[in-house]
C-alpha cells in the first residue's frame, strides 16, 4: 500500500512538473499580422519604408488617416472628417472668427468661433491642436529613425543616404510648418525636438512664443540648405517641399514676428522677410494669368503655387480638405453651383461687410476676384444665422479644370495652395511699408508687385495704383481681396490689431448682430484643457 | 379496525374475532404476505410515481406505479423501506398489515445541493462567498434564443439588458454594476469548465447564442471577489458558470421533445405626424405657397407599418439521455428559426450537443466529455430603416414607375431630376435592397479527467482540455441604383457595394489541478493547487468592393493572438462544521502587457460562520438557517476592449488602401504609419469587500439572503488624453483612474401556499448600486472631464462626461428653462448655457419578481423586472422633433408628434429636456400550462403551455422603450410582443 502511495505521489508530481514547465515563455509574443512590423523588421536598406513614412507626414496635412474618407484616423476622440484633419480645422479657426466667413450649421460649438466665445474645452480647437502635434511627433520620430548612425548600422547605400538627407530636410520643413501654426494660433505650447524621447512618460517642456519662434527660425534656416531646388509648375519633384517653400514660410514668420514676440517695429525681422520674399521671386515663380486657375483641378501645373496640399478624387480622399471647401459653399438645394462642387452642404458664406473690402477698390466690378462673390439670393444681411442663403456666397475653389472639364469623381481633386507667389508679393510690400530695409528693396518694386496682382485680377482696368495708394490699411484690404478663404485672414487681422477691435466689426462678431468687439486675449486660442491635464508643465494662455 | 368495532356489539363474535386475530398474527410472523399501499408526498398529498419500495435487508422490492400504488410480498414481521430522490427515506414495519401508506418528507435539498464554483464544487451550505445558483426548471420559459433571455430578473445584482428585439440579438450582462470604464464590463462566462473568450464574433449579434438554452442544467453566478478571485485576471466583473445537462447511469433512457411556435408582433410604434397632419404642418410652418409645400405629395403612407411585420418563428429540440451499459450519455439536437418584426430580419440556428460521463477504475476515474456544435445563419435588417421610417415624408409614395433611379422605389430627386444625396432613403428599400447575411459555425469541446488516487482517496487530480472555435463569413450587399446607394456611404453615386468578411477564432485551454480533502476530527481541510494555460487566436479580413470601381482592392488579413498563463490555489478550512475559512491565490500572466507588468497576483479571503449550528440556535425550529459571510478579494481585468493585442510593442503598419496615398514626383506612395504604444500599461485591479447573511425559515420554506458590498477599481484602464508630443495619438489606453461601486442586495424566496392541490412559489430580489468615479488623471484639476457617448444629429456631438465624484457616463447637458405653463423655451438655458452633469443611465434600484403557481395539472408562472432611477437621453426626440428638421436638406422630412408640443425650431441636442426618467416595471413573461400525465393513454408525459413575452411595461418615459443599454435612445430595434404555444413531451 505504501509503495502504491509513493508511486502515485511521484506520478502526480511528475505530471505537474511536466505541464508547468511548458508555456510560460509563450507570453513573449510578436504581432502575427504581417502588415504590422516592428522597428527592426520595418527599416533596412531599401527606400520603400522611408519614403512611405515621409509620405505619411505629408498626407497628415491632407487627410485624417491612412484610409480614404478619413477612415482609420490618426487623431481620435472626435469626428474624423470634420475635426481630426488639418485643412478643415485650420480653415475653421482662421476664417470663421472673421468677416470672411460664418457657418450656418449647429455642429457642437462651431458657432462660437464667429461669436468669439470659444472655451478651452472646444472640440475643434482640441482637434487642430492634436493634429498639429501629431504631425510634429511623427516628423520627429522620422528624424530619430533616420539618423546617420542608424542608417549606417542598416548598411544603407550612399545614394539612398543622399535621398534620405533630402527627406530629413522635408520632414523638418513639415515640422516647422506645424510649429508655425502652433505659434500663430496658440502662441505657447509643448516643445519637443530631435532629442525628445517619444513613447515614454516624460512630459514635454513648456515652450513660450519666443522659444517656439526661435526653434522654427533655426530649423527653416538650417534645412533649406538640403531641400530640393525650387520647382516651377509641374515637375518630377511635385509634392515635395523645396527651398522656396522654406523661404516663403520664413517670410510669413518674420512678417508676423512682432505679434508673435510681443514687440513693435523690430526692423530686422521685416528686413529678413523681404530677403526671403526676394529669394522666392528670384527663383522664377510667376503669377497665374487667370486668378480662377489657381484653384482648379489641374492646378498642379500652376507656376504660382510654391507648396500645395494635395487632393485627389481617387487616390487621396478626405471629407476635411478641399471637399469641405467646395461642398460647404453651395446651397443644399443645388440652386447655384457654378464650380461643379461634388456635394451641396450649404454651410459657409461671408458677411455683407466682406463685400465692403471690394467696394472700396476702384473698378471693383471688373475684378475677377469680386465676381467669385455671389449675391443672387438677394439677402446679404445675415438675419437668420442658420439660413445659408442669408449672407454672401463665395465660389472660389473649383471642381472644374482650367478648360472647364468636370471632375467626375465623387471627391474633390483640386490641390490647396498653402504657399503661393501672390501672397509673397503682398508680404514684400507690407514688410517694406513696415520698415524693412533689405538691399535693393524700393517702394517702386513694392508698387510693381501690387500692380501685378491688381492687373492679374482685373485685366480691364486694374494695375493703376500709385505710390500714395500704398498704405498699410490698403495692404490689409488688398490681402482680403487676394487671399480670402485661404486661411490667412485671422492672422492678418491680429497683426493689424483688428480681430478684437470694437471699431472694425462685421455682422454677428462677438455674438451680437451688428457686431461688437471682444477681449484682446482672444487674439490667440487657448491650449486645450485635455492637454493641460495631461501635461503639468504647461500653462494656460492668459484669459482662459 | 373498523371491522372489529362492528363485531364487538355481539359478545360471541368478539371472542371468535380475537381468536382469529391471534391466529392471524401468529401466522403472519411466520409467513410472507402480500402488502399493498400507496406512497405520497407528506406536504402536498400527491402520490409519488417511481418510488422504490424495498423489504429492508433484502433485495426484494418494487416501484410505485403511475398512481403511486405498490404491491409486493413481504414477511409480515418485516419492514418496508421507501426511497425516492429528493425525499428522506421512510420506513414502516409491516406488522401484519396488508395496506400501508407512506408519507415521504422532502429532504432539505436546498442546503445539501452541490454548487459548482471555480475549479471544484461545494455544498451550498458550505459556501463562503456571494454565490447564486439557479437550475433549469426555475428559468423563464418561453422563446429563448440565448440563455440571456431566460436569466433576466432572476438574480439580485445581475442585470441583463438586451440590445433590442432583433432575433438572435445580443445582450449586456452586468453583475453589480460595471467595474471598468473603457475596459470590458462583461462577466467571465465559463461553459462546462471552458472559459470562453467573450469577444465579438463577426456576423453573430450575440456570441452566447451558440448555447442552446434547452441544454443548460444550472447557472451559478459568482458575485464577490472571494468567489471570483480564483479566476484572477478576468474576474473583475463577476463569473457565470454554466453546466449542461448530462445523462446518468441510474436513469432509464429518456427522450424529451420540446417545441414551440411563436408569433411576434410590434408592441408600440413611435408617434409621427400622419400625412394629413404633416401636410397641415408644412403649409402652416413654411407657408402654403412655399417651395416646401410644393414638395408635398398626395399619398398617405404609414412608413412604420411598411417596415414592420408580424413575424413567425419555431423552435424544436430533441434530447435523448440515458446510459449504454455504464456509459451515461446525453445527446441533443435543436433547431430554431425566427423571423424578426423588422422585415427581412431572420435568425436560424441548428445545434447539436453530446455529453458522455463514464467512470472507470471503480469510480476512481471520472471522465466528462462534452461536445457542442452550432450552425447559425443571420439576415440582419438595417435599423437605419426605422430612423428613415420616422423621417420619411408620409405624403410620398413607396414605389414609383416614372424614374430611372431607385430600382422602382420612390426617392427624393433634386430640381435637376438627379438623386438628392441629402434626402432620406426609402425605408422599405433599405430592407429589401440591402442584404446583410452571415453564416457562422461554432464548436466547443471539453474533456475533463478527474482521478481519485488509489490508496490515497483524499487526493484528486483533475485535468481539463478544451477548445472553442468559430468560423464565420458573411457579406453585405447593396444593390446598385438603389436609394441607399445615392444617399448613404462615402460615394453616393449609385454604385453598388459588396463587402465580404471572414473571421476565424480559436481558443484552446489546458487546466490542471490537484485537490486534497480530509477530515481530522473537528477539523476538515480541502487544499487545491493548479495551473492553467489558454491561447486565443483571431484572424479576420474584410474588404469593400464597389460596382463602379475596377481598381484592385487587396484582401487584408488581420491575424492576432494572445496568451494567458496562470497558477492558482485554494485552501478551505472548516472547524466543527461551523466556522469556515477560504483562502485563494492566483498569479496570472498575460502576453498583452510588457515584461514589467505582465504578472498580477490576485488573493482572496473569506470567512463564514454557520450560526444556526451553534447550540443557542439549534433548537430554534422556526429558523432553519442562519449564516454570516465575510469576504475580501482582489481580481483583475486585462480585456482592454481595444482591437490591439500588442499595445506595448512599438510597431509600424503600411496602409494598403488605394484611396489614401500621397503623390511625390510622379509616383503615388502608400503610407507607413507608426502605431502608438504604451509600455507601462498594466492590469486593472478591483478590490471587493462583501458581507452577507443567509437566512432560512420554517425548514427553508422561506429563504433569504442579504449582501452588502463595496468594489474599488484601481489603475482603471481608460482612454485618456496623452500629453501632446509624446506619442503617435492624442488619446490612448492607459491606467489612469479609480472607480467605486457600493451596494446592497436582498433576495427572498418562499412558498406562500403549499397544499394538496395548490402550491405557490414566489421569489423577489432587489438590489441597490451606486457608482462613482474617484480619480481620473494624474492631475488634480477638479474641472477635468472626459467626453464620450456619441449621439445622432449634427456632427460629433457627445452627451457623456466622465468626471470625478460622479457616476460613469453621466449626462453632460444644459439646463433648460421653461415658461409658466411648463413648456421649454427654445435656446433659453440657465447659467448662459453652461453644461452640467445631470443623472446617468445606471439605475439606483433593480428588482425582480417571479411567481410559479401549480394547481393540480395546471401551472401559471410569471416574471417581472423593474429598474428605478435610470435615465435616458431621448435622441429620437432630440433629433427628429425640431421643426426645421422638416426641411433641412432640400427635401421634406417628417417630424415626431412631440415636435408640435415642444415647439423647437432648431435642434437643441444638449438640452436636459431630453434627459428623461426611464424607470420602468416590466412583465417579461406569463406562462399558462397544463401537464398531461398520460398522453393518449400511453406512458408519455406531456406539457402544453402558452406564453406571452414582453407582456407590458409601466413607465413614464416618453420614448419607445425605456430599456436602453447605455442610456442613449436612438432607434433601437423594438422589442416585440411574442405569443408562444409550446409542447413538451417526455417519453
Helix (H) / strand (E) element for B852: namely strand B845-855
Interface of B with A in 527-546 (CB under 8 A): 531, 533, 535, 539
B757 touches chain A (CB under 8 A): no
Which of B512, B657, B674 shows the shortest C-beta gap to A68? B657
Interface of B with A in 898-927 (CB under 8 A): 906-907, 909
Inter-chain CB proximity A137 and B651 less than 8 Å:
no
Asked whether the beta carbons of B511 and B530 are under 8 A apart, the reply is yes
- For Cα atoms B591, B596, B601, give the angle at the middle one, nearest 5 degrees: 75
Inter-chain CB proximity A239 and B456 less than 8 Å:
no
- For Cα atoms B236, B238, B242, give the angle at the middle one, nearest 5 degrees: 140
**Beta strand pairing status for B871-874 and B131-135?**
unpaired
The answer to whether residue B88 scores a pLDDT higher than 90 is no
Here the cell at position B835 is 453644461
Count of A–B CB contacts within 8 Å?
A: 315
If DSSP codes are grouped into helix, strand and coil, which group holds residue B321? strand
Q: Best mutation site among A18, A41, A66 for testing chain B: the one with the most B CBs within 10 Å?
A: A66
Burial class (CB in 10 A: 0-12, 13-18, 19+), B367: middle
CA atoms within 13 A on the CB side of A20: 13
CA distance B534 to chain A (A): 10
B421 touches chain A (CB under 8 A): yes
Tell me the per-residue pLDDT of B1-48, one tens digit each, with 9 for 90 and over: 333 344 444 555 555 555 554 454 444 445 778 888 888 877 667 777
CA distance A219 to chain B (A): 17
Confidence band, pLDDT 50/70/90 cuts, at residue B108: very low
B290 touches chain A (CB under 8 A): no
B435 touches chain A (CB under 8 A): no
Here the cell at position B317 is 429540440
Inter-chain CB proximity B884 and A386 less than 8 Å:
yes
Measured between beta carbons, the chain A residues lying within 8 angstroms of B677 are 199
Here the cell at position A385 is 444665422
Tell me the per-residue pLDDT of A90-137, one tens digit each, with 9 for 90 and over: 999 999 999 999 999 878 789 999 999 999 989 899 999 999 999 999
**Beta strand pairing status for B684-697 and B672-674?**
unpaired
Out of A411-415, A500-504, B173-177, B737-741, least confident range: B173-177
If DSSP codes are grouped into helix, strand and coil, which group holds residue A191? coil
Q: How far apart are CA B454 and CA B456, in angstroms?
A: 6
Can you give the pLDDT at residue A28? 67
Q: DSSP assignment, residue B95? A: T
Can you give the pLDDT at residue B9? 47
Measured between beta carbons, the chain B residues lying within 8 angstroms of A118 are none
The residue in chain B having the minimum alpha-carbon distance to the alpha carbon of residue A529 is B784
Can you give the pLDDT at residue B109? 44
Of B60 and B86, the structure prediction assigns the larger pLDDT to B60
The answer to whether residue B911 scores a pLDDT higher than 80 is yes
The answer to whether residue B796 scores a pLDDT higher than 80 is no
Can you give the pLDDT at residue B190? 87
Measured between beta carbons, the chain B residues lying within 8 angstroms of A82 are 795-796
**Phi, psi torsion values for B623, nearest 5 degrees:** -100, 110
Confidence band, pLDDT 50/70/90 cuts, at residue A208: very high
Asked whether the beta carbons of A494 and A523 are under 8 A apart, the reply is yes
pLDDT mean over B357-373: 89
Inter-chain CB proximity B721 and A534 less than 8 Å:
yes
Burial class (CB in 10 A: 0-12, 13-18, 19+), B784: buried
Q: DSSP assignment, residue A34? A: T
Q: Best mutation site among A178, A533, A538 for testing chain B: the one with the most B CBs within 10 Å?
A: A533
The residue in chain A having the minimum alpha-carbon distance to the alpha carbon of residue B559 is A33
Here the cell at position B837 is 452633469
Q: How many CB atoms lie within 10 A of CB B447?
A: 16
The answer to whether residue A398 scores a pLDDT higher than 60 is yes
Confidence band, pLDDT 50/70/90 cuts, at residue A439: confident
Inter-chain CB proximity A27 and B598 less than 8 Å:
yes
The residue in chain B having the minimum alpha-carbon distance to the alpha carbon of residue A53 is B672
ipTM: 0.90
B455: left (phi over 0), alpha (psi -120 to 50) or beta: left
The percent of residues above 70 in pLDDT, for chain B, comes to 90
Of B730 and B230, the structure prediction assigns the larger pLDDT to B730
CA distance B558 to chain A (A): 5
Question: For the CA atoms of B179, B184, B188, B189, what is the dihedral angle to 10 degrees?
Answer: 130
Can you give the pLDDT at residue A445? 93
Of B417 and A100, the structure prediction assigns the larger pLDDT to A100
Can you give the pLDDT at residue A427? 96
Q: Best mutation site among A9, A25, A29 for testing chain B: the one with the most B CBs within 10 Å?
A: A29
Taking all residues of chain B, what is their mean pLDDT, rounded to a whole number? Answer: 84
pLDDT mean over A17-39: 65
Can you give the pLDDT at residue A45? 86
Which of A58, A189, A532 shows the shortest C-beta gap to B662? A58
CA distance B124 to chain A (A): 30
**Beta strand pairing status for B239-244 and B188-191?**
parallel
Taking all residues of chain A, what is their mean pLDDT, rounded to a whole number? Answer: 90
Here the cell at position A2 is 505504501
**Phi, psi torsion values for A54, nearest 5 degrees:** -65, -40
CA A434 from chain centre, in angstroms, equals 26
Tell me the per-residue pLDDT of A285-336, one tens digit each, with 9 for 90 and over: 999 999 999 999 999 999 999 999 999 998 998 998 899 999 999 998 888 9
Can you give the pLDDT at residue A351? 94
B658 touches chain A (CB under 8 A): yes
Q: DSSP assignment, residue B215? A: G
Can you give the pLDDT at residue A499? 95
Q: How far apart are CA B59 and CA B43, in angstroms?
A: 29
The percent of residues above 70 in pLDDT, for chain A, comes to 94
Asked whether the beta carbons of B272 and B896 are under 8 A apart, the reply is yes
pLDDT mean over B111-121: 70
Q: Which of B689, B811, B691 is nearest to B740 (CA)?
A: B689
Cα–Cα distance list, B762 to B851, B853, B860, B863, B952 (Å): 4, 8, 12, 10, 20
Measured between beta carbons, the chain A residues lying within 8 angstroms of B909 are 106
Inter-chain CB proximity B557 and A54 less than 8 Å:
no
Q: How far apart are CA B30 and CA B76, in angstroms?
A: 7
Inter-chain CB proximity A386 and B906 less than 8 Å:
yes
Asked whether the beta carbons of B631 and B604 are under 8 A apart, the reply is yes
CA distance A246 to chain B (A): 18
Asked whether the beta carbons of B498 and B480 are under 8 A apart, the reply is no
Of B326 and B437, the structure prediction assigns the larger pLDDT to B437
**Beta strand pairing status for B871-874 and B968-969?**
parallel
Can you give the pLDDT at residue A469? 92
Q: Best mutation site among A11, A332, A415 for testing chain B: the one with the most B CBs within 10 Å?
A: A332
Q: How far apart are CA A337 and CA A327, in angstroms?
A: 9
Tell me the per-residue pLDDT of A227-263, one tens digit each, with 9 for 90 and over: 999 999 999 999 999 999 999 999 999 999 999 999 9
Inter-chain CB proximity A33 and B558 less than 8 Å:
yes
Q: How far apart are CA B852 and CA B837, in angstroms?
A: 43
Can you give the pLDDT at residue B784? 72
Which of A27, A52, A314 shows the shortest C-beta gap to B672? A52
Residue A17 contacts by C-beta under 8 Å, 6 or more apart in sequence? none
Cα–Cα distance list, A525 to A98, A128, A262, A510 (Å): 14, 11, 16, 15
The answer to whether residue A168 scores a pLDDT higher than 60 is yes
pLDDT mean over B608-619: 86
- Which single residue is written with the C-alpha cell 516592428? A38
Residue B935 contacts by C-beta under 8 Å, 6 or more apart in sequence? B941, B942, B985
Of B269 and A34, the structure prediction assigns the larger pLDDT to B269
Q: Which of B613, B609, B604 is nearest to B628 (CA)?
A: B609
Which of B666, B784, B889 shows the shortest C-beta gap to A529? B784
Inter-chain CB proximity B650 and A38 less than 8 Å:
yes
Tell me the per-residue pLDDT of B753-779, one tens digit each, with 9 for 90 and over: 888 888 898 989 999 999 999 888 766
Ordered DSSP codes for A257-272: HHHHHT-S--HHHHHH
Which residues make beta-bridge pairs with B761?
Answer: B852
CA atoms within 13 A on the CB side of B357: 17
Which residues make beta-bridge pairs with B687?
Answer: B634, B712
Interface of B with A in 660-719 (CB under 8 A): 660-666, 668-675, 677, 679-680, 719
Here the cell at position B832 is 448662459
Dihedral sign, Cα of residue B884, residue B885, residue B891, residue B893: negative
Can you give the pLDDT at residue B744? 94
Q: How far apart are CA B802 and CA B788, in angstroms?
A: 8
Inter-chain CB proximity B590 and A66 less than 8 Å:
no
CA distance B204 to chain A (A): 23
Ordered DSSP codes for A299-357: GGG-SSEEEEE--BTTTB--SSSHHHHHHTTS-TT-S--TT--S-----EEB-HHHHHH
Cα–Cα distance list, B131 to B118, B276, B774 (Å): 11, 58, 28
CA distance B665 to chain A (A): 4
Q: How many CB atoms lie within 10 A of CB B131?
A: 24
pLDDT mean over A22-50: 74
B596 touches chain A (CB under 8 A): no
Amino acid at each position: 500500500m505504501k509503495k502504491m502511495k509513493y508511486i502515485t505521489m511521484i506520478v502526480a508530481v511528475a505530471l505537474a512538473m511536466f505541464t508547468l514547465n511548458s508555456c510560460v515563455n509563450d507570453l513573449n509574443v510578436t504581432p502575427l499580422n504581417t502588415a504590422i512590423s516592428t522597428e527592426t523588421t520595418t527599416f533596412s536598406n531599401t527606400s520603400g519604408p522611408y519614403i512611405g513614412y515621409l509620405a505619411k507626414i505629408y498626407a497628415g496635412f491632407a487627410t485624417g488617416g491612412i484610409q480614404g474618407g478619413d477612415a482609420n484616423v490618426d487623431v481620435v476622440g472626435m469626428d474624423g472628417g470634420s475635426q481630426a484633419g488639418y485643412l478643415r480645422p485650420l480653415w475653421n479657426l482662421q476664417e470663421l472668427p472673421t468677416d470672411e466667413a460664418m457657418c450656418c450649421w449647429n455642429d457642437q460649438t462651431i458657432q462660437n468661433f464667429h461669436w468669439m466665445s470659444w472655451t478651452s474645452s472646444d472640440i475643434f480647437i482640441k482637434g487642430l491642436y492634436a493634429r498639429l502635434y501629431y504631425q510634429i511627433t511623427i516628423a520627429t520620430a522620422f528624424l530619430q529613425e533616420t539618423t546617420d548612425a542608424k542608417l549606417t548600422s542598416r548598411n544603407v547605400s550612399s545614394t539612398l543616404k543622399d535621398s534620405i538627407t533630402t527627406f530629413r530636410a522635408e520632414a523638418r520643413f513639415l515640422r516647422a510648418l506645424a510649429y508655425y501654426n502652433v505659434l500663430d494660433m496658440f502662441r505657447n505650447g509643448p516643445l519637443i525636438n530631435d532629442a525628445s524621447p517619444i513613447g515614454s512618460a516624460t512630459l514635454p517642456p513648456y515652450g513660450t512664443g519666443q522659444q517656439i519662434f526661435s526653434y522654427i527660425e533655426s530649423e527653416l534656416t538650417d534645412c533649406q540648405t538640403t531641400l530640393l531646388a525650387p520647382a516651377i509648375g509641374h515637375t518630377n519633384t511635385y509634392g515635395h517641399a523645396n527651398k522656396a517653400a522654406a523661404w516663403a514660410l520664413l517670410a510669413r514668420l518674420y512678417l508676423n514676428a512682432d505679434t508673435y514676440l510681443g514687440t513693435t517695429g523690430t526692423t530686422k525681422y521685416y528686413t529678413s522677410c523681404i530677403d526671403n520674399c526676394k529669394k522666392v521671386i528670384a527663383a522664377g515663380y510667376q503669377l497665374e494669368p487667370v486668378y480662377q486657375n489657381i484653384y482648379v483641378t489641374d492646378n498642379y501645373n500652376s507656376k504660382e503655387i510654391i507648396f500645395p496640399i494635395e487632393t485627389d478624387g481617387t487616390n487621396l480622399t478626405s471629407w476635411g480638405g478641399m471637399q469641405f471647401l467646395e461642398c460647404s459653399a453651395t446651397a443644399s438645394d443645388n440652386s447655384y453651383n457654378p464650380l461643379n462642387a461634388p456635394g451641396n452642404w450649404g454651410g459657409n458664406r461671408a458677411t455683407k461687410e466682406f463685400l465692403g473690402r471690394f467696394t472700396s477698390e476702384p473698378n471693383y466690378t471688373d475684378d475677377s476676384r469680386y465676381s467669385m462673390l455671389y449675391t443672387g439670393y438677394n439677402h446679404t444681411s445675415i438675419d437668420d444665422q442658420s439660413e445659408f442663403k442669408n449672407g454672401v456666397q463665395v465660389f472660389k475653389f473649383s471642381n472644374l479644370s482650367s478648360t472647364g472639364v468636370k471632375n467626375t469623381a465623387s471627391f474633390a481633386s483640386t490641390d490647396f495652395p498653402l504657399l503661393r507667389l501672390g501672397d509673397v508679393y503682398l508680404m514684400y510690400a507690407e514688410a517694406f511699408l513696415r520698415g524693412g530695409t533689405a538691399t535693393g528693396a524700393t517702394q517702386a518694386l513694392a508698387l510693381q508687385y501690387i500692380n501685378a496682382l491688381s492687373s492679374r485680377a482685373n485685366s480691364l482696368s486694374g494695375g493703376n495704383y500709385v505710390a500714395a495708394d500704398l498704405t498699410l490699411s490698403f495692404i490689409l484690404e488688398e490681402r482680403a481681396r487676394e487671399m480670402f478663404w485661404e486661411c490667412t485672414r485671422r492672422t492678418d487681422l491680429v497683426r493689424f490689431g483688428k480681430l478684437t477691435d470694437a471699431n472694425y466689426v462685421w455682422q454677428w462678431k462677438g455674438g451680437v448682430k451688428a457686431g461688437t468687439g471682444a477681449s484682446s486675449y482672444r487674439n490667440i486660442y487657448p491650449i486645450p484643457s485635455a492637454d493641460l491635464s495631461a501635461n503639468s508643465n504647461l500653462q494656460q494662455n492668459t484669459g482662459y | 379496525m373498523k371491522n372489529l368495532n362492528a363485531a364487538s356489539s355481539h359478545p360471541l363474535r368478539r371472542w371468535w374475532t380475537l381468536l382469529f386475530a391471534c391466529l392471524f398474527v401468529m401466522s403472519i410472523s411466520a409467513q410472507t404476505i402480500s402488502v399493498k399501499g400507496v406512497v405520497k408526498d407528506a406536504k402536498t398529498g400527491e402520490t409519488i410515481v417511481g418510488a422504490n419500495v424495498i423489504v429492508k435487508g433484502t433485495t426484494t422490492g418494487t416501484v410505485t406505479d403511475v398512481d403511486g400504488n405498490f404491491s409486493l410480498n413481504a414477511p409480515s414481521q418485516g419492514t418496508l423501506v421507501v426511497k425516492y430522490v429528493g425525499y428522506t427515506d421512510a420506513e414502516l414495519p409491516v406488522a401484519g398489515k396488508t395496506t400501508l401508506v407512506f408519507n415521504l418528507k422532502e429532504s432539505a435539498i436546498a442546503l445539501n445541493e452541490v454548487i459548482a464554483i471555480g475549479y471544484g464544487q461545494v455544498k451550498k451550505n458550505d459556501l463562503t462567498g456571494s454565490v447564486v445558483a439557479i437550475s433549469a426548471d426555475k428559468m423563464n420559459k418561453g422563446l429563448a434564443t440565448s440563455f440571456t433571455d431566460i436569466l433576466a430578473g432572476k438574480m439580485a445584482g445581475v442585470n441583463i439588458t438586451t440590445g433590442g428585439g432583433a432575433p438572435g440579438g445580443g445582450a449586456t450582462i452586468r453583475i453589480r454594476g460595471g467595474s471598468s470604464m473603457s475596459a470590458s464590463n462583461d462577466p467571465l462566462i465559463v461553459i462546462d469548465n471552458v472559459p470562453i473568450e467573450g469577444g465579438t464574433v463577426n456576423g453573430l449579434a450575440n456570441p452566447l447564442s451558440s448555447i442552446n438554452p434547452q441544454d443548460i442544467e444550472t447557472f451559478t453566478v459568482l458575485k464577490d471577489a472571494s468567489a471570483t478571485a480564483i479566476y484572477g485576471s478576468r474576474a473583475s466583473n463577476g463569473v457565470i458558470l454554466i453546466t449542461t445537462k448530462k445523462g446518468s447511469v441510474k436513469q432509464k433512457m429518456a427522450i424529451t421533445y420540446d417545441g414551440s411556435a411563436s408569433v411576434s408582433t410590434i408592441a408600440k410604434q413611435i408617434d409621427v405626424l400622419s400625412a394629413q397632419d404633416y401636410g397641415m404642418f408644412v403649409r402652416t410652418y413654411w407657408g402654403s405657397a412655399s417651395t416646401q409645400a410644393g414638395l408635398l405629395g398626395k399619398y398617405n403612407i404609414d412608413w412604420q407599418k411598411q417596415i414592420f411585420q408580424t413575424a413567425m418563428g419555431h423552435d424544436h429540440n430533441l434530447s435523448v439521455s440515458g446510459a449504454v451499459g455504464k456509459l451515461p450519455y446525453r445527446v441533443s439536437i435543436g433547431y430554431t428559426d425566427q423571423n424578426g418584426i423588422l422585415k427581412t430580419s431572420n435568425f436560424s440556428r441548428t445545434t447539436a450537443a453530446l455529453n458522455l460521463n463514464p467512470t472507470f477504475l471503480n469510480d476512481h476515474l471520472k471522465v466528462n466529455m462534452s461536445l457542442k456544435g452550432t450552425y447559425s445563419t443571420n439576415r440582419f435588417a438595417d435599423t437605419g430603416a426605422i430612423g428613415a421610417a420616422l423621417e420619411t415624408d408620409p405624403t410620398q409614395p413607396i414605389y414609383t414607375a416614372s424614374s430611372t433611379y431607385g430600382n422602382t422605389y420612390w426617392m427624393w430627386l433634386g430640381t435637376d431630376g438627379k438623386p438628392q444625396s441629402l434626402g432620406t432613403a426609402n425605408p422599405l428599400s433599405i430592407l429589401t435592397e440591402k442584404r446583410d447575411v452571415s453564416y457562422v459555425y461554432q464548436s466547443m469541446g471539453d474533456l475533463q479527467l478527474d482521478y481519485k488516487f488509489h490508496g490515497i482517496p483524499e487526493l484528486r487530480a483533475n485535468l481539463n482540455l478544451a477548445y472553442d472555435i468559430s468560423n464565420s463569413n458573411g457579406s453585405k450587399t447593396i444593390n446598385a441604383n438603389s436609394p441607399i446607394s445615392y444617399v448613404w456611404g462615402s460615394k453616393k453615386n449609385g454604385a453598388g457595394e459588396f463587402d465580404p468578411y471572414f473571421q476565424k477564432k480559436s481558443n484552446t485551454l489546458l487546466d490542471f489541478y490537484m485537490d486534497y480533502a480530509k477530515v481530522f476530527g473537528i477539523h476538515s481541510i480541502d487544499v487545491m493547487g493548479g495551473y492553467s494555460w489558454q491561447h486565443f487566436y483571431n484572424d479576420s479580413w474584410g474588404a469593400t468592393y464597389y460596382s463602379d470601381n475596377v481598381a484592385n482592392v487587396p484582401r487584408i488579413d488581420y491575424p492576432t493572438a494572445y496568451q494567458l498563463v496562470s497558477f492558482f490555489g485554494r485552501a478551505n478550512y472548516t472547524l466543527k462544521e461551523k466556522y469556515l475559512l477560504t483562502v485563494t491565490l492566483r498569479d496570472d500572466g498575460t502576453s498583452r502587457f510588457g515584461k514589467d507588468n505582465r504578472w498580477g497576483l490576485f488573493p482572496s479571503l473569506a470567512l463564514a460562520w454557520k450560526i444556526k449550528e451553534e447550540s443557542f440556535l439549534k433548537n430554534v425550529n422556526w429558523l432553519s438557517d442562519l449564516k454570516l459571510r465575510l469576504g475580501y478579494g482582489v481580481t483583475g481585468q486585462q480585456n482592454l476592449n481595444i482591437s490591439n493585442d500588442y499595445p506595448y510593442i512599438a510597431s509600424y503598419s503600411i496602409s494598403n488602401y488605394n484611396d489614401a496615398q500621397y503623390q511625390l514626383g510622379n509616383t503615388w506612395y502608400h503610407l507607413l504609419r507608426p502605431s502608438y504604444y504604451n509600455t507601462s500599461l498594466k492590469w486593472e485591479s478591483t478590490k471587493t469587500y462583501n458581507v452577507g447573511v443567509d437566512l432560512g425559515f420554517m425548514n427553508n420554506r422561506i429563504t433569504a439572503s442579504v449582501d452588502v458590498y463595496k468594489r474599488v477599481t484601481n489603475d482603471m484602464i481608460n482612454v485618456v488624453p496623452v500629453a501632446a508630443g509624446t506619442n503617435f495619438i492624442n488619446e490612448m489606453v492607459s491606467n489612469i483612474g479609480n472607480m467605486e461601486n457600493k451596494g446592497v442586495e436582498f433576495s427572498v424566496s418562499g412558498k406562500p401556499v403549499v397544499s394538496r392541490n395548490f402550491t405557490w412559489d414566489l421569489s423577489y430580489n432587489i438590489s441597490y448600486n451606486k457608482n462613482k468615479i474617484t480619480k481620473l488623471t494624474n492631475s488634480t484639476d477638479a474641472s477635468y472631464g472626459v467626453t464620450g457617448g456619441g449621439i445622432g444629429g449634427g456632427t460629433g456631438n457627445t452627451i457623456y462626461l466622465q468626471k470625478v465624484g460622479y457616476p460613469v457616463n453621466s449626462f453632460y447637458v444644459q439646463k433648460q428653462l421653461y415658461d409658466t405653463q411648463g413648456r421649454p423655451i427654445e435656446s433659453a438655458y440657465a447659467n448662459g448655457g453652461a453644461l452640467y452633469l445631470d443623472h446617468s443611465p445606471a439605475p439606483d434600484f433593480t428588482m425582480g419578481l417571479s411567481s410559479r403557481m401549480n394547481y393540480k395539472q395546471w401551472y401559471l408562472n410569471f416574471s417581472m423586472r423593474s429598474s428605478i432611477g435610470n435615465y435616458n437621453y431621448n435622441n429620437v426626440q432630440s433629433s427628429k422633433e425640431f421643426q426645421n428638421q422638416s426641411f433641412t436638406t432640400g427635401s421634406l422630412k417628417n417630424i415626431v408628434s412631440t415636435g408640435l408640443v415642444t415647439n423647437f425650431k432648431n435642434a437643441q441636442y444638449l438640452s436636459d429636456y431630453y434627459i428623461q426618467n426611464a424607470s420602468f416595471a416590466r412583465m417579461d413573461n406569463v406562462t399558462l400550462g397544463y401537464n398531461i400525465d398520460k398522453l393518449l393513454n400511453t406512458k408519455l408525459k406531456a406539457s402544453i403551455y402558452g406564453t406571452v413575452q414582453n407582456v407590458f411595461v409601466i413607465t413614464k418615459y416618453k420614448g419607445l422603450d425605456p430599456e436602453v443599454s447605455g442610456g442613449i435612445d436612438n432607434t433601437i430595434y423594438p422589442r416585440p410582443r411574442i405569443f408562444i404555444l409550446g409542447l413538451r413531451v417526455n417519453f
